[in-house]
Amino acid sequence: MRRGDGPFRQAARDAGGWAWALGAVTLTGAVAELLLPAALGLAVDAALTGGSRWWPVAVCALVAVLVTTDTLGDLAAGYGAARATARLRGRLLRHLFALDVRAARRYPVGDLVGRLVGQAADAGQAGNTVVLGAIALLPPLGSVVALTLIEPALGVTLLAGLLLLGGLMRAFVTDASAATAGYQKALNRIAGRLLESLAGARTIAAAGTRRREQARVLAALPELGGHGRRGWELLARASARTAAVAPLLQLAVVAVGGYALTAGWLTPGQLVSAVRYAATGAGLGAVLATLNRLVRSRSGAARVGELLALPAPADGDAPLPPGAGALRLHGVTVHGDDGRPVLDGVDLDVPAGATVAVVGPSGAGKSTLAAVAGRLHDPDAGQVRLDGVPLPRLDPAELRRAVGYAFDRPALVGATVHDAVGLALPPQQAAPPADGSPATVAVRRAAEAAAVDDVVARLPQGFRTPLADAPFSGGEAQRLGLARAFAGARRLLILDDATSSLDTVTEHRISRAVTGRPGGRTRLVVTHRAATAAAADLVAWLDGGRLRAVAPHARLWADPAYRAVFRADGEAG
């Protein structure tokens, strides 16, 4: 075990009682396996000398024990691995959702899925590997002890051969670990690129670059094949060496035993026992298979542990005090992955109940400001407060009930359209839809405000329609995302370019729903459209990560640089 094997050890502990059951069963089987040669030898001597007839019965009983322990061991190993894998996947999934969105975004989705599905399953075998690995050593070592008791020269012969085989297997573990880790990395890289390509399938087809994209996705295939071949070659080489040395070792024990028999040191039954112990001690196939599982399990645990080691922002437990959604950003600074500031010392006050439009050229930091305003991630410096409370101090459930988000490309989550819109409702309200229930009323009102109720009404089962059976256009999906934000936001509504795919009439209708209710929830609207900025109470003008001005749209319009922001986006104002 290395110092960095913490995830592996945790996965082994996650197997719980099944690992102990597996240990008890396999230990019983190992003891029976060690007793069987001795019982066979005594049965042979009894048959030759007319001794007790119970030794053949003992041999049959030991064989029955071996069959039973093999069956029960497979059952315990399966349940233990399933339990450990489920716990590890749950822990990893919770951690991924708790991460700063910037940290999770650094990993391709395919890579994350590969670790969650494939490498977590490999790591889930940790408990079985530890138990079976420890007990797999018992038959060879027990054989050495038994042969030493029968005749010390036999024990020394077997021990010398086992030391040679142990050195060969140690080299296998070292080399196979590198090959397995490289294989898993290359496989996840291919999976990540495949998911990217599937998401952009229409663009690839329209550009006529299918073959080029296939080559890009499969660029890591030679590397994958190389690591795979290397792994199988190492396993085959180790198996071949074991297969070559084991018979020679048995022959050496038989030769020494034969000499001891002719010299009168052994009885015929003891020679039979010695031959069986030599076969048991030299048959290290189970040990080699366990080592191979150990390599895969440790590598998988290391890949999962890399994600679990990413620091997640600490959550608070403070409730929201009474308030109407006053938002304050003080000295907020956010750095990009390259170290350059995306936001640089931004101070912004959004009065409770007001609508503030955030405008600026591409790359000005608008989406980043929207992200820190509702704590999708924390700023690198500065502080964000909602109704006077710093966001990191708030209970996460309280924060999510207070803040609603809508994006330009919303991901619709849930089994039905109702689930997708009611996703942000409190658990006690997000029940299956029933006529007149609070959830149904809230979802329908939100759909009306987002101008998507008529679209849902045309679906075969209305709000009960499965999402998979409801193909929405880009604009319709945006409106459903808006409805979800409307349903969930109690104090602060954040729209990050959430009307970019809407036609002018629909956007005007939604803009009135967003800005036309003075004294309601606070609204922070990232927009590229002059009409939306004009309807807001205030405009926060970002430029190069800095807040250039905060004022009504009509006052800012006198500045040519401000007007140029909208002309660059195709709007004359």
Q: What is the pLDDT of residues 216-254, one digit of tens each?
A: 888 888 888 888 888 888 778 777 777 667 777 777 777
- pLDDT class of 515 with cuts at 50, 70, 90: low
What is the DSSP track for 310-379?
SPPPPP--BPPPS-S--EEEEEEEEE-TTS-EEEEEEEEEE-TT-EEEEE-STTSSHHHHHHHHTTSS--
- Please give the pLDDT value at position 573: 45
What would the CATH number be for the domain defined by 6-308? 1.20.1560.10
Question: Residue 91: what are its φ and ψ, rounded to 5°?
Answer: -65, -40
Residue with tokens 């900025």: 533
Q: Is the pTM here over 0.85, yes or no?
A: no
What is the DSSP track for 406-440?
EESSPPP-SSBHHHHHGGGS-TTT-PPP-TT-HHH
- Please give the pLDDT value at position 216: 86
For 100-136, write each residue's pLDDT tens digit. 888 878 888 888 888 888 889 989 988 888 888 888 8
- Please give the pLDDT value at position 168: 66
- Please give the pLDDT value at position 552: 92
- What tokens appear for 287 in the block? 């040990």
Average pLDDT over residues 335-347: 87
- Please give the pLDDT value at position 68: 92
Bigger pLDDT: 316 vs 52: 316
Residues forming a β-bridge with 384: 329
| pLDDT at residue 369 greater than cutoff 60 | yes
For 258-298, write each residue's pLDDT tens digit. 777 787 777 787 778 888 877 777 666 667 777 778 888 88
- Please give the pLDDT value at position 92: 92
| pLDDT at residue 541 greater than cutoff 70 | yes
| pLDDT at residue 330 greater than cutoff 90 | yes
- What tokens appear for 423 in the block? 């996703």
| pLDDT at residue 496 greater than cutoff 50 | yes
What is the DSSP track for 504-532?
HHHHHHHHHHHHS-TTSSEEEEE-S-HHH
For 425-482, write each residue's pLDDT tens digit. 765 554 555 555 666 788 888 888 888 888 888 888 888 888 888 888 878 888 888 8
The mean pLDDT of the chain is 82
- Please give the pLDDT value at position 3: 47
- Please give the pLDDT value at position 12: 87
Q: How far apart are CA 396 and CA 375, in angstroms?
A: 10
Average pLDDT over residues 496-503: 73
Residue type, 46: A
| pLDDT at residue 333 greater than cutoff 90 | yes
Residues forming a β-bridge with 350: 327
| pLDDT at residue 181 greater than cutoff 90 | no
What would the CATH number be for the domain defined by 327-568? 3.40.50.300
Average pLDDT over residues 354-381: 89
The domain locations on the chain are: 6-308, 327-568
Q: Residues 457, 438, 512, 411: what is their CA dihedral angle, to the nearest 10 degrees?
A: -70
For the chain, the residue count is 573
- Please give the pLDDT value at position 385: 92
Q: Are 396 and 412 in contact (CB under 8 A)?
A: no
Q: Are 376 and 101 in contact (CB under 8 A)?
A: yes
| pLDDT at residue 328 greater than cutoff 90 | yes
- pLDDT class of 538 with cuts at 50, 70, 90: very high
The sheet with strand 522-526 has its strands ordered as 403-407, 492-496, 522-526, 355-359, 538-543, 546-551
Residue 242: count other Cβ atoms within 10 Å of its Cβ.
20
Q: Would 6-308 and 327-568 be classified into the same CATH topology?
A: no
